[in-house]
Amino acid sequence: MSTDHTAALADAATGTCADTPVTAVTAVLTVDGRAYRHLPLDRLLPAERLAELPYAVRVLVENVARRSPAALGAVLDRIRAGQGDCEVPVHPDRIMLHDTTCLPALADFAALRDSVAELRGDPGQLQPAVPVDLTVDHSVIVEEYGHGDAVERNLLIDFRRNAERYAFVKWAERSLSNFRVVPPGTGIIHQVNMETLARVVWQQDDPAEGGGLPWLHPDVLVATDSHTPMINALGVVGWGVGGLEGQAAMLGEPVTIPFPRVVGVRLTGRLRSGVGATDLALTLTQLLREQGVVDQFVEFCGPGVAALGWAERAAVSNMAPEYGATCVYFPYDDETAAYLRLTGRDEDHVRLVDAYLGAQGLKRTADSPEPRYDDLIELDLSTVEPSLAGPDLPHQRLPLSQVPGSFQPSSGNRAPVTVAGEPLPEGPVAIAAITSCTNTANPSLIVQAALVAERARQAGLTAKPWVKTSLSPGSRVVEDYLREAGLLTPLEETGFHIVGFGCMTCIGNSGPLQDELEQVAADGGADPVAVLSGNRNFAGRVNPRVAHSYLASPPLVVAYALAGSIRHDFEREPLGSTADGTPVFLKDLWPSDEEVAARVAAAVRPAMFRANAARLREGTQAWRDIEAPDGVRFRWDPESTYIRRPPHLTGLLADAPDRLRIDRAKVLLHLGDDVTTDHISPAGAIPARSAAGQWLAERGVARRDLNQYSTRRSNHEVMLRGAFTNAAVSNQLLIEDGELRGGHAYAADRSAVLPVHEAAPTYRAAGLDLVVVAGRNYGAGSSRDWAAKAQALLGVRAVIAESYERIHRSNLIGMGVLPLEFEPGDTAAAYGLTGEEELVFDGLDALHVGTNPVALRLTRPDGSRTTARLRLRLNSRQELAYLRHGGILPYVMRRAVATP
């Protein structure tokens, strides 16, 4: 930090003159005999005001003060006033990516270098400005299961299919500075982050100033996964962004957010025996979705926080996107320090973290004053009960007793079916997956599931033959402690072999169902159900054959595999019988909390985490054998079916357009409420009969290697053919034509109904822009760039919706698409849209930060006109600049060319 920089900070904070010395703002902290520099928050705000401020906001204030002092005055004024809006530019210390967002981001990055070179700039200057970690974890599929070498077989298939993608990753590792890779088969992004990469406090050497003392400051990150808030459980501020915003942050752009509204959740009491982290997470998901916390911060307070272990906190924070919150924060406390020690962090670093956060007022203790929140919600932990969520939304919480009645078959007149020699029940559980994201970070839940399996085997029970069972941990440490506890074998004997270390079933990488059931489902003879310990259960997401999915804790996943039906009543119906005919109920298999805690304490040790961290970046021999090209610019293969130069970054001009305007447009799609990014751009398996599958087959790709949409995201030809093809998508403009479902629209001349990717070009050929109209919560779900990219490449210039999920709204702006909103109380239904109207938007030539009024003039074929009042909310000058440049990446490219 330069003297001028620090003086500006002091000026903003205290109103003193610009020649304020550095020592007036920074301070020295000595820990274990070593001195460090830091920026004390109590020199920016009075101690009593600081104590009232939510902990997460304190971290943001430190970041702004240290990195963007010109913005500090507005932030502090907002804090003093207690209300109002202002921009908060956040500079992350690091960025995390996973492969299905990183690969298209790297393709964009390579294309940016091409564009810079084509405009006579230096492509080699385009480098990450902050450390970037890529975890390759979203590609492996559950194809082999039910045997001891399933994990190795699945990984070999993964490498065979994705070798080209992984070579591209290795090119990036060689070509980009500050870019490191966690190879396939190692673990998922969130557990890698928690167990190994998160520092909680960042130590940054700065020998040029301050007498050579290193800086200390809070660890702040963004990542291209919507479940990034899992790291909030450790007192680390971080949230999910789209790959577009992540790329801008990689190049040094701040991630700018509005000053956050913070909802406090005051916890009292403690969880009852037999109630676990999943039950709490699902309860809070329902509660906070009902409360409405989209775009807001959530922070936990009250005496009940101390009753929650780190793993319970992680499960709750991980579910943040399922209730729409940006950040779900548990302040650092002694439990966090215990987790750092458990996971093998160096003891000196743990003491440093504790000392710094204590000095900054960022450590929560039992006698810490409770901050003031914009809203406060109370939850007595003792009221939480065993729960599932389903059948198709994460906030559809159900007490366990109500689950059987929640399943509604699509047809009640089916003939009896036999699978594997047994009659198939109604609501057959086709998939029972202990999958990585939410729950496999929690040793108690995994050990609890293993103990249920152990007792089931002792009673002679195993999974039903039609159930595809799988265990895909988020970390190799899970295998280590299960083996140490002697619990890996009973899980395997019950059907739950480890199938991979990655984000598998929950992302849609569930693979085909059991052979006979796959055919029965294809013929319409059954409504298969999935039960998974993940966090998302949207219709068709887990598997294209599965419309009903339920989120459950790992031990309940095992229980449903034993039962074989979602209609099973665990209270009244036994799971089976012992050899002597004694009925076995779930309560007979359920271990006590004390037994689980004792097994965890005996088996989970810091040495396991240290050993895992030491081998984190090694990868398998197959990874090490992959050869990759060199060079600053990537050599595109025009025949590739995986990686193609992105069309939105080809032929860019050096200057931005003169003005933003939409003068003639038509509605391409009119959609309903809760349209997710899965509906807009799928992630799961590419069906052979789909347009994308046929395109790949025409280029020689074997049916078995069509792979997932998520792995083909660097190929726009595939992704455009997949857009809006989810069977749950309904274009309301087509209702009179029998309501074609999934990916159809009128051609521009209304002469035909075509797949969306064929219909859209007819409008562009006619000189028309396109608009998508939707209802509430447009873009819920994953932080999926392609949900915005697909719309932009189809020619969509604006979306008009009642409300948006945060990341998708940002991604639309990142692609130059206007995220317009109806006025409160107004909906598309008021305008009787048919798709024949011509749309003109007024008010786009005078946009500013804040809420912009936009008038939509609709002219019908008979000449009658209607005007709709819309709003365009812009949170920062950055968002305004991105729209004017046609997106984030054209903006970044033009800045790179303009910078000598």
User: What does the pLDDT look like over 607-623, one tens digit per residue?
Assistant: 999 999 999 999 999 99
**Range 86-99 average pLDDT:** 95
Q: Do the Cβ atoms of 304 and 269 come closer than 8 Å?
A: yes
User: What does the pLDDT look like over 42-60, one tens digit per residue?
Assistant: 999 999 999 999 999 999 9
Give the β-pairing of 418-419 and 422-423: antiparallel
CB atoms within 10 A of CB 721: 25
Looking at the predicted structure, is the pLDDT value of residue 126 above 50?
Answer: yes
Phi, psi at 247, each rounded to 5°? -65, -40
User: What does the pLDDT look like over 847-876, one tens digit per residue?
Assistant: 999 999 999 999 999 999 999 999 999 999
Taking the model in full, what pTM does it have?
A: 0.89
Check residue 659 and give its pLDDT: 83
**Range 504-533 average pLDDT:** 93
User: What does the pLDDT look like over 750-807, one tens digit per residue?
Assistant: 999 999 999 999 999 999 999 999 999 999 877 688 999 999 999 999 999 999 998 8
Label residue 205 by pLDDT band (50, 70, 90).
Answer: confident
Looking at the predicted structure, is the pLDDT value of residue 18 above 50?
Answer: no
Nearest to 243 by CA among 132, 80, 393: 132
Nearest to 231 by CA among 194, 200, 201: 194
Strand partners, 297: 262, 327
Looking at the predicted structure, is the pLDDT value of residue 12 above 70?
Answer: no
Highest mean pLDDT among 104-108, 211-215, 697-701: 697-701
- Least confident among 447-451, 569-573, 653-657: 653-657
Check residue 204 and give its pLDDT: 87
**Range 522-533 average pLDDT:** 94
Check residue 895 and give its pLDDT: 86
What is the rounded distance in angstroms from the CA atom of residue 307 to the CA atom of residue 452? 25
List the Cα angle 261/816/121 in 5-degree steps.
Answer: 115
What is the rounded distance in angstroms from the CA atom of residue 37 to the CA atom of residue 66? 12
Tokens of 4: 């001028």
What is the rounded distance in angstroms from the CA atom of residue 165 to the CA atom of residue 714? 9
Q: What one-letter code names the amino acid at 221?
A: L
Check residue 441 and give its pLDDT: 78
Task: Compare 653 and 300 and report the one with higher pLDDT.
Answer: 300
Rounded mean pLDDT of the chain? 92
Based on the number of CB atoms within 10 Å of its own CB, is 884 exposed (0-12), middle (13-18) or buried (19 or more)? middle
Looking at the predicted structure, is the pLDDT value of residue 436 above 80?
Answer: no
Looking at the predicted structure, is the pLDDT value of residue 101 above 70?
Answer: yes
Q: Outline where DSSP puts E strands in 474-565.
A: 529-532, 548-551
Cα-based distances in Å from 586 to 123, 228, 556, 569: 62, 34, 9, 10
Tokens of 724: 């809006």
Check residue 102 and give its pLDDT: 86
Check residue 685 and give its pLDDT: 87
Looking at the predicted structure, is the pLDDT value of residue 892 above 70?
Answer: yes
Q: What one-letter code names the amino acid at 115?
A: S
Strand partners, 356: none
Q: What one-letter code names the amino acid at 820?
A: L
**Range 371-388 average pLDDT:** 98
Coil, strand or helix at 632: coil
Q: Do the Cβ atoms of 333 and 16 come closer than 8 Å?
A: no
Check residue 696 and give its pLDDT: 97
Tokens of 401: 């007793």
Query: What dihedral angle (degrees, nearest 10) is formed by the CA atoms of 209, 213, 216, 220?
Result: 50
Based on the number of CB atoms within 10 Å of its own CB, is 340 exposed (0-12), middle (13-18) or buried (19 or more)? buried
**Range 666-680 average pLDDT:** 94
Considering the chain, what percentage of its residues have pLDDT values greater than 90? 82
Q: How far is CA 273 from the centre of its chain?
A: 31
Check residue 897 and give its pLDDT: 84
Cα-based distances in Å from 532 to 471, 768, 781: 10, 44, 17
Classify residue 684 by its DSSP letter.
Answer: S
List the Cα angle 287/293/298 in 5-degree steps.
Answer: 85
User: What does the pLDDT look like over 437-446, one tens digit per residue?
Assistant: 766 679 999 9
What is the rounded distance in angstroms from the CA atom of residue 516 to the CA atom of residue 60? 54
Check residue 22 and give its pLDDT: 35
Check residue 289 and give its pLDDT: 95
Coil, strand or helix at 267: strand
Label residue 508 by pLDDT band (50, 70, 90).
Answer: confident
